[in-house]
């Protein structure tokens, strides 16, 4: 009886959640879309959309919008680049930038763009390699097979191959991308309009942001000719329109077990929240010291505020008793399905228990592991909040790693990953001593806070020094700030690196053994268990619900469908559009509610009724930033840049009633480019006339 | 069956928790202590201990240790005073202080000390006043009756009377105190030894801190003659010794329902954690600007780090699944007891449900209420983190409040509370513009973050200004920094205050209506419900478990018993004592592990084997800071200053197996006073020879 109720509930939500799903391009529910919207995207349409969409390897999405490699994305996706090409005398974050001529397009020091050209199912091969293996050996076999497949696929540095684990191990697909590492900045508006309303309005709707950027992909020093690109729509999105959003949703956790979700709520999210909160306080005060302090810390501050607010919404979702009860009911349906069928009991029994035990081990390991774990997207993740230390670690480890056979290396050193690593390592992006010292000092202090001053790793790292003192010494003393020195060490290999007396290399050396051991313990006793039993639960789900479902997000290309649609929140009706007039009405002249001078100068020329932002019920998540919103003709009607507050639940479940994707309207982009920024060159290029 | 199991569990824990309890002086379990330790404190002993113990109204405890009003407490309890009597040229926090002569004893601008002289049970009177009333009227009747009782009791400004609500309304007792507002600083060591190990070692054991201070109570300009004071023990605490700790535990939440505990975990604690974390980051960076910035922010930073770490431990306790399951079982026993008895169903039915509903209302009200709620101990709590704004609010409100009959006033304006309010209002403690601007700007920003920029209260407060901008304008422009101006406005009453054009008074005016409305909504729809149904559950507990229990802590005098005792944590044995040698061994020369120069100079003279800190299993909580640890002869064997990490669970339950109170040893105090600080005058006074 109870089971029926649960199934009825699942069914009810399944129909209520009609626009749910971040679908892989090879399993798109064309029939569902047809049924609901009377339009069936065919294989050609899907292929074109896939090839016209791109992934920004740093964690965003974008789309080709001209035959000459022009890419539309968000300002906040190009923010890092804009800051890196700025100087104390030329603050492009603050002032915006427009390359009036092709020659003025500015190279981004560390931006990589990927275009998905092929998907191959390698599930069978992966299964073959792991058949009958226990937890730790299972994970090792997966690692080795993954490395092999990726290596076979990667025929040149211009090719990127990722074995993507879908459905928590239910399937493995090989994604083959073209890799572009010469990307140049074409246009960004001022930060004040890109992020109008700032942190207070972030994740809110209504909104009035021009969160856009245009960059261009180059190949062989010339703009990339692009066969597949999106055309601009006439008039853009309208209420009720069917909208597709191709992009790269980063991570969702909709298939996690209750044990994993509780751990998210009680440990992972809380830890991140307090850490980001403190870092934010530090950076805020740091930025007050001078205009230059503000400039160099602007990007970190923006990132940390954004990350904080997103996680706060995620935490609140899991702390919502009703939402959590729904998750418990979902799991109960799976547990009951196992319990009442002896065959299933044999195939899937014990999976939930094994995962719960792994989570308990994670509880013990995390206080250290969180400091040394690899970042899923950034091979040189700022170690202890320091970019330099991440580079030093990569250099130190390269000695051991590059000497190993490909599949035995740490993931970030495998052949398939090396181009991304070396790009980050040899990036010309400026590094600011004072900010690095603050960040590293902060990281070292928090490391000590998590582990306690008597922990052997803390003692190995700090010695007798105080965190700030150590940070200042190594950052001031290192030569790694110079790209040439990093290149010299990389090229010099073992003798150069082991022979170096650089204080940062020395710090990386002191951390290495402890960090590797913690990573190994985690991978062998937690990750591998979650993998193996996650795969079992994925198979159970296929058995119960069929394969016409979508996998949790994995920062690989996906396609969602939905419509332009307002909503009702706490009894209040929220319309689906804002306009330019609204932006001027909200302007107080004070940050973050201060429209830039360019807007005020152009005001008289603007059609103030032109839509500025709008919202849709497409199923998106972080990583979809920069995704185009397109119509059935695959023409651009908007540019996704955010979700509203209720949408922050999307990590753990689709909330189609109130959760919304937030986009810049395509007409707003055109009006701004023409009338505010006089960017006729790119307008012509985009419109093809 | 299930019930039996639960009762068995409760019984089992009851015996395991032999030293549990923060007992009121009038309900001390003498027989239990006798049974366990062979010593039965009699009424005279208890009276003496009560009268020799004091409460520091700001949130600490202390004890008389000489016949001339000398009070022993913690450095961190006197920290505020030490900072306030410091100047840019004389940093007493850093350097410590010793008044070599009586004339050098320095007046603390805002320290109040209370001595509990009488306890009267007024439960009957309170019951009478509230008989048959609904939630909101119930609370109002309680408020009015409380004000009446307190006013009748308070015969002079030197008397303080509090109606203390015990057992969440199960009993009301009138506590009559002598009130002392002339308190002077006699001795503090350097911050570096008082808080050796700093935040990393806070809430840890083993420890090596000399967290002590000596102040003196004056009356009529002369040292207060004290009949009741604690003598110093010979040799101090030893392993296994029976120890009593009199003091004022501030708040525990051991009787909360599951709905309330979930709210604590998911909202209250999380909100405080992220807020304190961010403030900490801000203050840390602020303090780096210069030595003077460090000096003026030292106290705030110390407080916020301490509060953060304490709350982190509390959060972790509630996030501990096993601990929480125990709480659920306790509540289930109560719910089952109601369900299986029709009489009880009538008397107590619906209480849990009513409380859960009140918590849901709290969820809606808290984002605003948390900014305007009265602080339980500080009548001028820093509003939006600003001391000045708290003072401005008190001045603005005084116009309306002082005109009302006593019992209709806001609690902090009632006759019984006025001396504490005016003391804080007319405090000579310095106020630093730059720090006030930071703190107020921070508060205003967070207010906007909680409510959103479009909330009417936010608009009323901010207008078109940015938080930092408004903060700078009002702090720079106000004359309230001058005590004389605050006095002029208070004395001038309505015409002076309503006629003032002071920007801070104006800000207080803009906040007043919204703040009062939010406070009223909370008190009427949440607090009153929690009160009324809390009282019903208290009666149920009395019915089931008898009255030989202790109430949740209420920052009023209590007495706990226990013993000096090591413990085992994660397989590791922790001994109950540390010594001076350990402190020198831990010294790295770098903050916070840097012993002061005075210690190094005296090292040769010291007996390094003298115990420095020790731990006991006494049941204490924040507010017990500064409590003496005494033996059966009521002689001082130590000075409580902290608890260890497992002890942070104590808010929600006693954890006698691993939770420990941490104390400075009495011999350490004597050795330090004599050999490090040459404080012969006070040594003689304490030892009486």
Binary contact (B284, A282; C-beta < 8 A): yes
Angle at B69 between CA B66 and CA B73, to 5 degrees: 80
| A426 at interface of B, judged by CB pairs closer than 8 A | no
Check residue A473 and give its pLDDT. 98
Residues in chain A within 8 Å Cβ distance of B593: 453
Least confident window among A115-129, A194-208, B131-145, B663-677: B131-145
Q: Convert the pLDDT of each residue in B148-172 to its tens digit.
A: 999 999 999 899 999 999 998 889 9
Distances (CA, A) of A364 to A135, A267, B321: 19, 11, 15
Q: Convert the pLDDT of each residue in A416-428 to its tens digit.
A: 899 999 999 999 9
CA distance B276 to chain A (A): 8
Report the C-alpha gap between B329 and B81 in whole angstroms. Answer: 45
Does residue B134 carry a pLDDT above 90?
A: no
How many helices and strands (H and E) does chain A possess?
27, 21
Best-predicted range by mean pLDDT among A154-163, B375-384, B484-493?
B484-493
Binary contact (B282, A281; C-beta < 8 A): yes
Q: Which residues contact B538 (CB under 8 A, 6 or more apart)?
A: B167, B168, B169, B170, B171, B255
Distances (CA, A) of B4 to A47, A207, A622, B332: 66, 59, 51, 12
Binary contact (A438, B285; C-beta < 8 A): yes
How many helices and strands (H and E) does chain B possess?
27, 21
| A371 at interface of B, judged by CB pairs closer than 8 A | no
Dump the DSSP string for B354-422.
HHHHHHHHHHHHHHHHHHHPPPSS-TT--BTTBHHHHHHHHHHHHHHHHTS-GGGS-GGGSTTTHHHHH
Please report the sign of the dihedral spanned by the C-alpha atoms of residue B567, residue B569, residue B573, residue B577: negative
| A465 at interface of B, judged by CB pairs closer than 8 A | yes
Q: Convert the pLDDT of each residue in B600-632 to its tens digit.
A: 999 999 999 999 999 999 999 999 999 999 999
Q: Convert the pLDDT of each residue in B474-513 to its tens digit.
A: 999 999 999 999 999 999 999 999 999 999 999 999 999 9
The residue assigned the tokens 């690109």 is: A229
As a whole number, mean pLDDT of residues A650-659 equals 93
As a whole number, mean pLDDT of residues B300-328 equals 95
CA distance A266 to chain B (A): 6
A262, A315, A438: residue with CB nearest B270: A315
CB A666 within 8 A of CB A637: yes
Does residue A4 carry a pLDDT above 90?
A: no
As a whole number, mean pLDDT of residues A256-277 equals 97
Q: Mean pLDDT across chain A, nearest whole number? A: 94
Longest dimension (CA), chain A: 74
Q: Which residues contact B140 (CB under 8 A, 6 or more apart)?
A: B528
Residues in chain A within 8 Å Cβ distance of B201: 453
Q: At what angle do helices B387-402 and B503-522 cross, to 10 degrees?
A: 70
Q: How many CB atoms lie within 10 A of CB B137?
A: 14
Binary contact (A197, B593; C-beta < 8 A): no
Check residue A16 and give its pLDDT. 38
Q: Is the peptide bond before A592 cis (omega within 30 degrees of 0)?
A: yes
CA distance A421 to chain B (A): 32
The helix or strand, by DSSP H or E, that contains position A419, with its residue range, turns out to be helix A418-425
Dump the DSSP string for B284-336.
HHHHTS-HHHHHHHHHHHHHHHHHHHHHHHHHHHHH-HHHHHHHHHHHHHHHH
Report the C-alpha gap between B532 and B551 in whole angstroms. Answer: 16
By DSSP bridging, strand B567-569 and strand A97-98 are unpaired
| B271 at interface of A, judged by CB pairs closer than 8 A | no
Helix (H, G, I), strand (E, B) or coil at B34: helix
| B16 at interface of A, judged by CB pairs closer than 8 A | no
Report the C-alpha gap between A611 and A236 in whole angstroms. Answer: 9
Q: How many CB atoms lie within 10 A of CB A134?
A: 10
Q: Which residues contact A273 (CB under 8 A, 6 or more apart)?
A: A308, A311, A312, A315, B270, B273, B274, B277
Write out the residue limits of the CATH 2.40.10.120 domain(s) in chain A. 5-112+181-253+551-687
CB B49 within 8 A of CB B634: yes
More confident: A136 or B316: B316
More confident: A656 or A260: A260
| A2 at interface of B, judged by CB pairs closer than 8 A | no
CA distance A484 to chain B (A): 33
Task: Give burial (CB, 10 Å; 0-12/13-18/19+) of A120.
Answer: middle
Cα nearest neighbour of A276 on chain B: B278
Check residue A81 and give its pLDDT. 95
pLDDT band at A13; cut points 50, 70, 90: very low
Report the C-alpha gap between B579 and B613 in whole angstroms. Answer: 7
A262, A282, A321: residue with CB nearest B281: A282
Q: What is the pTM of this model?
A: 0.93
Q: Which residues contact B239 (CB under 8 A, 6 or more apart)?
A: B564, B565, B566, B576, B577
Check residue B10 and give its pLDDT. 41
Token reading at B353:
């449900």
A201, A281, A466: residue with CB nearest B453: A201
By DSSP bridging, strand B231-232 and strand B635-643 are parallel
User: Count of residues for chain B?
Assistant: 689
As a whole number, mean pLDDT of residues A377-386 equals 91
By DSSP bridging, strand A567-569 and strand A222-223 are unpaired
Binary contact (A200, B593; C-beta < 8 A): no
CA distance B588 to chain A (A): 6
Of chain B, the percentage scoring pLDDT greater than 70 comes to 98
As a whole number, mean pLDDT of residues B182-195 equals 98
Cα nearest neighbour of B459 on chain A: A588
Distances (CA, A) of A72 to A54, A75, A198: 10, 9, 22
Binary contact (A285, B280; C-beta < 8 A): no
Task: Give burial (CB, 10 Å; 0-12/13-18/19+) of B43.
Answer: exposed
Report the C-alpha gap between B36 and A316 in whole angstroms. Answer: 47
pLDDT band at A17; cut points 50, 70, 90: low
Distances (CA, A) of B383 to A151, A471, B233, B400, B493: 61, 36, 44, 19, 22
| A262 at interface of B, judged by CB pairs closer than 8 A | yes
Binary contact (A273, B270; C-beta < 8 A): yes
Level-2 CATH architecture, domain B5-112+181-253+551-687: Beta Barrel (2.40)
Report the C-alpha gap between B10 and B326 in whole angstroms. Answer: 9
Residues in chain B within 8 Å Cβ distance of A589: 464
As a whole number, mean pLDDT of residues A480-501 equals 97
Mutation to test the A interface, candidates B258, B277, B443, B593, most A Cβ within 10 Å = B277
B274, B282, B453: residue with CB nearest A282: B282
Binary contact (B438, A285; C-beta < 8 A): yes
**Count of A-B CB contacts under 8 Å:** 100
CA-based R_g, chain B, Å: 25
A197, A279, A590: residue with CB nearest B464: A590
CA distance B477 to chain A (A): 20
Cα nearest neighbour of A204 on chain B: B452
Binary contact (B275, A279; C-beta < 8 A): no
CA distance A284 to chain B (A): 7
Q: How many CB atoms lie within 10 A of CB B400?
A: 14
Least confident window among A493-507, A516-530, B533-547: B533-547
Check residue B547 and give its pLDDT. 78
Residues 588-607 of A with CB under 8 A from B: 588-591, 593
Dump the DSSP string for B204-261.
-SS------EEEEEEETTEEPP-S--PEEPSS---TT-EEEEEE------TT--HHHH
CA distance A119 to chain B (A): 42
Q: Convert the pLDDT of each residue in A445-472 to its tens digit.
A: 999 999 999 999 999 999 999 999 999 9
Q: Is the peptide bond before B592 cis (omega within 30 degrees of 0)?
A: yes
Binary contact (A453, B283; C-beta < 8 A): no
Of chain A, the percentage scoring pLDDT greater than 90 comes to 90
Check residue A127 and give its pLDDT. 93
Report the C-alpha gap between A620 and A602 in whole angstroms. Answer: 34
Report the C-alpha gap between A19 and A41 in whole angstroms. Answer: 15
Cα nearest neighbour of A452 on chain B: B200
Q: Convert the pLDDT of each residue in A55-88 to its tens digit.
A: 999 999 999 999 999 999 999 999 999 999 999 8
CA distance A581 to chain B (A): 17
- End-to-end Cα, chain A, rounded Å: 65
pLDDT band at B96; cut points 50, 70, 90: very high
| B199 at interface of A, judged by CB pairs closer than 8 A | yes
Report the C-alpha gap between A515 and A537 in whole angstroms. Answer: 31
Report the C-alpha gap between A599 and A581 in whole angstroms. Answer: 11
Q: Which of B568, B641, B648, B579 is nearest to B610 (CA)?
A: B579
Q: Which residues contact A378 (CB under 8 A, 6 or more apart)?
A: A58, A59, A424
Binary contact (B464, A319; C-beta < 8 A): no
| B456 at interface of A, judged by CB pairs closer than 8 A | no
Residues in chain A within 8 Å Cβ distance of B449: 199-200
CB B595 within 8 A of CB B582: no
CA distance B365 to chain A (A): 14
Does residue B11 carry a pLDDT above 50?
A: no
A674: DSSP letter: I
In Å, how far from its chain's centre is CA B298? 19
CA distance B215 to chain A (A): 33
| B645 at interface of A, judged by CB pairs closer than 8 A | no
In Å, how far from its chain's centre is CA A240? 29
Binary contact (B278, A275; C-beta < 8 A): no
B284, B319, B442: residue with CB nearest A266: B319
CA distance B610 to chain A (A): 23
Cα nearest neighbour of B269 on chain A: A270
As a whole number, mean pLDDT of residues B590-607 equals 97
Interface confidence (ipTM) of the complex: 0.92
Report the C-alpha gap between A519 and A472 in whole angstroms. Answer: 27
pLDDT band at B252; cut points 50, 70, 90: very high
Does residue A269 carry a pLDDT above 60?
A: yes
Q: Convert the pLDDT of each residue in B370-379 to its tens digit.
A: 999 999 888 8
Q: Is the peptide bond before B377 cis (omega within 30 degrees of 0)?
A: no
CA distance B256 to chain A (A): 18
Binary contact (A200, B452; C-beta < 8 A): yes
Least confident window among A220-224, A306-310, A376-380, A576-580: A376-380
Q: Which residues contact A299 (CB under 8 A, 6 or more apart)?
A: A79, A80, A83, A93
Q: Convert the pLDDT of each residue in B542-575 to its tens digit.
A: 999 887 889 999 999 999 999 999 999 988 999 9
| B275 at interface of A, judged by CB pairs closer than 8 A | yes
Check residue A606 and give its pLDDT. 98
Dump the DSSP string for B497-537.
HHT---HHHHHHHHHHHHHHHHHHHHIIIIIHHHHHHHHHH
Binary contact (B466, A199; C-beta < 8 A): no
Check residue A15 and give its pLDDT. 41
Longest dimension (CA), chain B: 74
Q: Convert the pLDDT of each residue in A87-119 to its tens digit.
A: 989 999 999 999 999 999 999 999 999 999 999
By DSSP bridging, strand B106-107 and strand A231-232 are unpaired
As a whole number, mean pLDDT of residues A559-574 equals 95
């Amino acid at each position: 009886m109870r089971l029926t109720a649960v199934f009825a509930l699942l069914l009810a939500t399944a129909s209520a959640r009609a626009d749910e799903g971040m679908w892989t391009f090879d399993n798109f529910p064309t029939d569902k879309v047809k049924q609901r919207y009377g339009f069936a995207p065919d294989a050609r349409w899907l292929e074109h959309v896939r090839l016209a969409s791109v992934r920004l390897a740093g964690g965003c999405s974008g789309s080709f919008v001209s035959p000459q490699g022009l890419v539309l994305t968000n300002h906040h996706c190009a923010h890092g680049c804009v800051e890196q090409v700025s100087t104390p005398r030329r603050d492009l974050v603050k002032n915006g930038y427009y390359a009036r001529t092709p020659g003025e397009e500015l190279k981004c020091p560390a931006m990589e763009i990927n275009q998905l050209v092929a998907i191959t199912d390698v599930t069978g091969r992966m299964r073959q390699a792991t058949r009958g293996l226990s937890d730790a050996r299972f994970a090792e076999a997966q690692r080795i097979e993954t490395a092999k497949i990726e290596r076979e696929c990667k025929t040149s540095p211009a090719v990127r191959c990722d074995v993507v684990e879908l459905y928590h191990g239910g399937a493995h697909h090989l994604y083959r991308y073209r890799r572009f590492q010469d990307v140049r900045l074409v246009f960004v508006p001022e930060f004040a309009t890109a992020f109008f309303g700032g942190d207070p309005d972030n994740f809110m709707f209504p909104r009035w942001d021009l969160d856009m950027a245009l960059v261009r992909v180059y190949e062989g020093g010339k703009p990339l000719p692009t066969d597949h690109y999106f055309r601009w729509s006439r008039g853009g999105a309208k209420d009720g329109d069917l909208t597709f959003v191709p992009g790269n949703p980063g991570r969702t956790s909709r298939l996690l077990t209750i044990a994993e979700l509780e751990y998210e709520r009680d440990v992972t999210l809380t830890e991140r929240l307090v850490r980001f909160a403190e870092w934010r306080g530090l950076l805020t005060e740091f930025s007050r010291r001078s205009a230059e302090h503000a400039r160099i810390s602007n990007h970190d501050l923006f990132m940390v505020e954004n990350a904080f607010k997103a996680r706060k919404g995620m935490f609140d979702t899991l702390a919502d008793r009703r939402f959590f009860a729904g998750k418990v009911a979902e799991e109960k349906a799976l547990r009951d399905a196992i319990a009442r069928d002896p065959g299933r009991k044999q195939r899937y029994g014990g999976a939930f228990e094994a995962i719960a035990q792994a989570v308990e081990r994670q509880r013990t390991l995390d206080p250290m592991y969180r400091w040394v774990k690899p970042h899923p997207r950034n091979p040189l993740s700022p170690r202890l909040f320091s970019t330099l230390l991440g580079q030093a670690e990569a250099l130190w480890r390269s000695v051991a790693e590059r000497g190993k056979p490909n599949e035995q290396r740490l993931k970030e050193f495998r052949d398939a990953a090396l181009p991304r690593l070396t790009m980050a390592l040899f990036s010309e992006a400026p590094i600011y001593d004072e900010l690095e010292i603050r960040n590293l000092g902060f990281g070292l202090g928090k490391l000590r806070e998590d582990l306690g001053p008597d922990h052997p790793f803390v003692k190995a790292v700090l010695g007798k020094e105080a965190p700030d003192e150590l940070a200042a010494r190594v950052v001031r003393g290192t030569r790694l700030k110079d790209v040439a020195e990093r290149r010299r060490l990389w090229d010099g290999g073992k003798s150069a690196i082991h022979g170096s007396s650089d204080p940062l290399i020395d710090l990386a050396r002191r951390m290495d053994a402890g960090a590797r051991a913690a990573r190994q313990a985690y991978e062998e006793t937690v990750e591998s268990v979650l993998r193996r039993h996650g795969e079992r639960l994925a198979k159970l789900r296929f058995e119960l619900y069929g394969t016409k479902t979508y996998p949790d997000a994995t920062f690989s290309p996906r396609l969602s469908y939905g419509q332009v649609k307002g909503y009702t929140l706490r009894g209040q009706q929220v319309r689906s559009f804002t306009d330019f007039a609204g932006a001027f009405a909200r302007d107080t002249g004070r940050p973050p509610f201060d429209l830039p001078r360019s807007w005020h100068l152009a005001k008289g020329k603007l059609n103030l009724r032109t839509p500025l932002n709008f919202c849709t019920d497409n199923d998106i998540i972080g990583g979809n930033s920069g995704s185009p919103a397109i119509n059935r003709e695959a023409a651009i009607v908007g540019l996704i840049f955010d979700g509203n507050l209720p949408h922050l639940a999307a990590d753990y479940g689709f909330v189609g009633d109130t959760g919304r994707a937030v986009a810049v309207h395509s007409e707003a982009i055109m009006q701004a480019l023409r009338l505010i920024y006089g960017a006729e060159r790119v307008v012509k290029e985009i419109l093809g006339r």
